[in-house]
Amino acid sequence: MHESSSITSSARSALRTMRVAAGLTLLAVAGQAWGGGPIVDTRGFEAAAGYSTTYLPSGGYAGQLKGQQGWVGLGDDTATIQSGVGPDGSQAVRVTHGADDYSYWAVQASNYPTGQYVHIGWDMLVQQSTGAGFGPFFGVEPYDDGLEYLGRFGVEAVNGGIVYAQGANKAVPGAFEYATSVVGFNTWNHFDMVLDFDAKRYQGFLNGNLVVDELFVNTASDSFTDADIASLATYFDSESINKPGVSYFDNFFVNDGILGDFDEDADVDGSDLATWQTAYGAGAGADATGDSQSAGGDFLIWQQQLGVDLSVPAPVGAVPEPATWALAATMALVVSGRRRWRARWAN
């Protein structure tokens, strides 16, 4: 895992260098696209991917994620590999959030994206936190190389509401806000986050449905370094800050681009096959494997991904009715964690 990530990273680095060197001439090549490839592929946190439920570092705890397969961690919450808990009943990561903790786990990378998009996906189960105040946030927070977070997408654990970070055009950029969607507790849901570096927006998909479409927190962001599994307080009253919670993550991945989306319009369809046919044997125009070649392996990935649609539909007039619980909570939630923690991480 870690090894293959490193290889991919250096290949990408070379590609990026080539791309920068070629400059604007590349933009003039019709049909030129940069399909992408894996940045982080946890392969379900399974033992076969090298994840151990018994890993015990000095001063650590059994099965902790930090230190395994390139993962780093920050904060006092715990993330542990456990068996018998994933959506397929195998291994997954349990995140336990404690009072007044802000914690992050990530595999760091550099020289991304090579194209328009970064695609982050994961399955997540959230247990309900109870009592007064807001629950902790469990979800993903991607970062750029200036230690700024691009957005946030996940669940608030008292109401089950989908929450995200307000974009640069909002009252408090970076602060938590509710979407209108809710998830059930103790059930696995699939989350996708698409970072669009051309439009400087990010989209959140819940079980394949678009539920968040928001500007980056900072629209100057033009790089991607890591997508953090995050465990944060969502609000600044004492009940919320001190509220514990538990969630599980599985099948986490980060891709440079949307695999198989060779024409870079955020879906995988016949147009991408046409792009692959044109690019076949002629460079990286339809590369989904990260080897800078457009070949048979890239076709196989297109075939596996056919039907994926993470494009953003045209806006419609109707705005969904907010759920009742959200009415009392339409104020911006707190801007938590962030740079002071990241600065520590960098050291």
State the minimum distance, in angstroms, from the CB of residue 3 to Ca ion: 18
Q: Does 101 bind Ca ion (CB under 5 A)?
A: no
For the segment 2-21, give every residue that binds Ca ion (CB under 5 A).
Answer: none
Closer residue to Ca ion, CB minimum distance, 177 or 263: 263
Closer residue to Ca ion, CB minimum distance, 228 or 264: 264
Closer residue to Ca ion, CB minimum distance, 281 or 320: 281
Closer residue to Ca ion, CB minimum distance, 130 or 271: 271
State the minimum distance, in angstroms, from the CB of residue 92 to Ca ion: 5
Closer residue to Ca ion, CB minimum distance, 119 or 152: 119
Instruction: Give the C-alpha separation, 215 to 202, whole Å.
Output: 6
Please check whether residue 127 is in contact with residue 185, taking contact to mean a CB–CB distance below 8 angstroms. Answer: yes
3-state SS class at 77 = coil
For the segment 283-312, give every residue that binds Ca ion (CB under 5 A).
Answer: 287, 289, 291, 293, 298
The H or E element spanning position 339 is helix 339-346
Stretch that binds Ca ion, among 97-105, 108-116, 155-163, 270-278 (CB under 5 A): 270-278
Closer residue to Ca ion, CB minimum distance, 103 or 289: 289
State the minimum distance, in angstroms, from the CB of residue 115 to Ca ion: 12
What are the Cα distances from residue 111, in Å, to 13, 263, 293? Answer: 6, 21, 18
SS3 percent helix, strand, coil of the chain, rounded to 5, is 20, 30, 50
Instruction: Give the C-alpha separation, 254 to 66, whole Å.
Output: 17
Q: Does 41 bind Ca ion (CB under 5 A)?
A: no
Q: Does 196 bind Ca ion (CB under 5 A)?
A: no
Instruction: Give the C-alpha separation, 92 to 43, whole Å.
Output: 10
Instruction: Give the C-alpha separation, 185 to 157, whole Å.
Output: 8
State the minimum distance, in angstroms, from the CB of residue 1 to Ca ion: 13
Any residues with CB less than 8 A from the CB of 323 and at least 6 apart, and which? Answer: 161, 180, 182
Closer residue to Ca ion, CB minimum distance, 156 or 272: 272
Q: Does 86 bind Ca ion (CB under 5 A)?
A: yes
Selection from 84, 101, 58 nearest residue 233 by Cα: 101
Stretch that binds Ca ion, among 44-52, 162-170, 299-307, 316-324 (CB under 5 A): 44-52
The single residue among 123, 177, 250, 256 that binds Ca ion, judged by CB under 5 A, is 250
State the minimum distance, in angstroms, from the CB of residue 322 to Ca ion: 33
Instruction: Give the C-alpha separation, 36 to 72, whole Å.
Output: 24
Q: Determine how many CB atoms are found less than 10 A away from the CB of residue 259.
A: 23
The separation between CA 79 and the C-alpha centre of its own chain, rounded to angstroms, equals: 17
CA dihedral for 292, 294, 295, 297, sign (positive or negative): positive
Stretch that binds Ca ion, among 203-211, 237-245, 264-272, 325-333 (CB under 5 A): 264-272
Please check whether residue 23 is in contact with residue 16, taking contact to mean a CB–CB distance below 8 angstroms. Answer: no
- Binders of Ca ion: how many residues, by CB under 5 A? 16
Q: Does 78 bind Ca ion (CB under 5 A)?
A: no
State the minimum distance, in angstroms, from the CB of residue 312 to Ca ion: 13
Instruction: Give the C-alpha separation, 316 to 196, whole Å.
Output: 21
Closer residue to Ca ion, CB minimum distance, 177 or 298: 298
State the minimum distance, in angstroms, from the CB of residue 96 to Ca ion: 18
Q: Applying CB under 5 A, which residues contact Ca ion? A: 44, 86, 90-92, 250, 261, 263, 265, 267, 272, 287, 289, 291, 293, 298
